[in-house]
Amino acid sequence: MKNRKGQLGYIDVRMTQDNRKMARIRYWEDVAGQHERKRRSTEWQDVTDWSDQQVQLWRMQVIAEAGVQDPKKPIPSEVGFESHAITWLEQNLPRYKKSFRKTLMMFIHRYLIPAFGAMPIEEITGPVVNKWVGLVRLQNGAVPSRKTLRHLVQTLQIIIGKPFAAREIRYPADARPKRRIYCPTDEDVRNIVFRAKGVYRLLFAMAPSTGMRAGELYGLHIEDIDFERGCILVRQSFSGGEIQSPKTERSHRVITINPDLVEMVRQYKGERTKGVLLLSEAGTPLHHENVLHRHLHPIQRSLGLPRFGMHSFRHYSVSYCARHGMPFDDVRMRHGHGSEEIMRMYLHLAPGHDARTLRMIPNIAVELGPSAGPSKVVELRQAV
């Protein structure tokens, strides 16, 4: 990026008809979003009684306050953030997974362009973004979570091509309670599988048994199943109408399944030896919205269950493995989790996952002895 040379401005002097000496300070100033500068000047000032030194001090003060004396001041770009972001999308959007493109487009058009659209790239600095982070709101007026704000800032950094300094962006504390994700019980899962028909019975049986993500199940090919050894190779996913790689590198994994599920898959596939395993009546891969609205949610309503999505089966699978004594690392590898933080979140969403461990330690309640009865405060209230 080119820089402008610093300027000192100059003094414009004129004499009035009554021999009064008037002066003003003139200089060039950059305008946001424009390459060309504009002429600026102060109001006329009567300097008849001023010395030359006083006039020069006044000029220096005006130039310093305007901030135009910097010898390496960047020249503003003619292209604002909006046009730059749109060009960036045209050139880079196809490089991302189709499942992520929608989120990326939403971040840019809903949040970033309204905030920084007319601003030149070089003026999007850490302090500017830090101020915006404290003011941004979601469409419903709610404060975004700390995680959402980080994703927005990361997207902004990718588009403008420069990172902000460490700890330059101060994210607000996320004091909101965590969103509760329903984890079905063993009975819930059995009833859902029993009510489902055709390919959806196999889908709802495989989801809690394997812990695979919905996209991984929709993209599972017959060739990825080893019927002799009873295992599944997870190497791809189906989302947005196309086959793509799984969510993360750790999502590439091998899952062992029980013989009953192997036989269930074998009977469903029939004579087919290759291609997508789970197919709709039209012979196409399952569409996630159709799975939910036409099959899973109606079954849940008929059973009187809370409405939940396919991902809740994954939570169930993690809790089921933990409840039955599978080592922590094995549970993590089976489900393709990268961090312990995410893994523990899945466990905490499953009430009773630590019941097996609790049975191995003494009962604290018994050692405390019987209750001492109601307190004096309660007795007094009852007497009143």
Q: What is the pLDDT of residues 217-228, one digit of tens each?
A: 999 999 999 999
At 10, which helix (H) or strand (E)? strand 10-15
- Residue of higher predicted confidence among 65 and 345: 65
Is the separation of the CB atoms in 89 and 58 below 8 Å? no
The answer to whether position 103 is within a domain reads yes
pLDDT for 80-95, tens place per residue? 889 889 999 999 888 8
Beta carbons within 10 angstroms of residue 306's beta carbon: 10
pTM score, whole prediction: 0.63
Q: Tokens 């891969």 appear where?
A: 285
- Residue of higher predicted confidence among 236 and 300: 300
Rg (CA), the chain: 33
Average pLDDT over residues 367-372: 57
Q: Are both 147 and 208 inside the same structural domain?
A: no
- Residue of higher predicted confidence among 147 and 188: 188
Domain extent, residue 34, equals 3-74
**Confidence class for position 290, pLDDT limits 50, 70, 90:** very high
Calpha distance 201→268 (Å, rounded) = 10
The answer to whether position 174 is within a domain reads no
Average pLDDT over residues 4-31: 85
Q: Are both 113 and 212 inside the same structural domain?
A: no
Residue 257 has pLDDT above 50, yes or no: yes
Show the 3-state SS of 209-256: HHCCCHHHHHCCEHHHEECCCCEEEECCEEECCEEECCCCHHHCEEEE
Please report, as a single letter, which amino acid is at residue 236: Q
The answer to whether position 369 is within a domain reads no
CA separation, residue 171 to residues 122, 124, 384 (Å): 22, 17, 52
Query: How many independent structural domains does the chain possess?
Result: 3
Q: Are both 211 and 300 inside the same structural domain?
A: yes
For residue 285, what are the β-bridge partners?
Answer: 279
296: its two tokens: 């899973």
pLDDT for 177-199, tens place per residue? 666 677 888 999 999 999 999 99
Q: Are both 231 and 344 inside the same structural domain?
A: yes
Is the separation of the CB atoms in 153 and 169 below 8 Å? yes
The answer to whether position 86 is within a domain reads yes
For residue 27, what are the β-bridge partners?
Answer: 40
**Confidence class for position 71, pLDDT limits 50, 70, 90:** low
Q: Are both 235 and 332 inside the same structural domain?
A: yes
Residue 139 has pLDDT above 90, yes or no: no
Beta carbons within 10 angstroms of residue 335's beta carbon: 23
Q: Are both 224 and 316 inside the same structural domain?
A: yes
Q: Are both 66 and 103 inside the same structural domain?
A: no
Is the separation of the CB atoms in 121 and 79 below 8 Å? yes
Calpha distance 273→183 (Å, rounded) = 35
Is the separation of the CB atoms in 347 and 357 below 8 Å? no
Q: Are both 90 and 68 inside the same structural domain?
A: no
Q: What is the percent of the chain with per-residue pLDDT over 70, rounded to a whole number?
A: 82
117: its two tokens: 């659209």
Is 331 exposed, middle or buried, given 0-12, 13-18 or 19+ CB atoms closer than 10 A?
buried
pLDDT at 209: 93
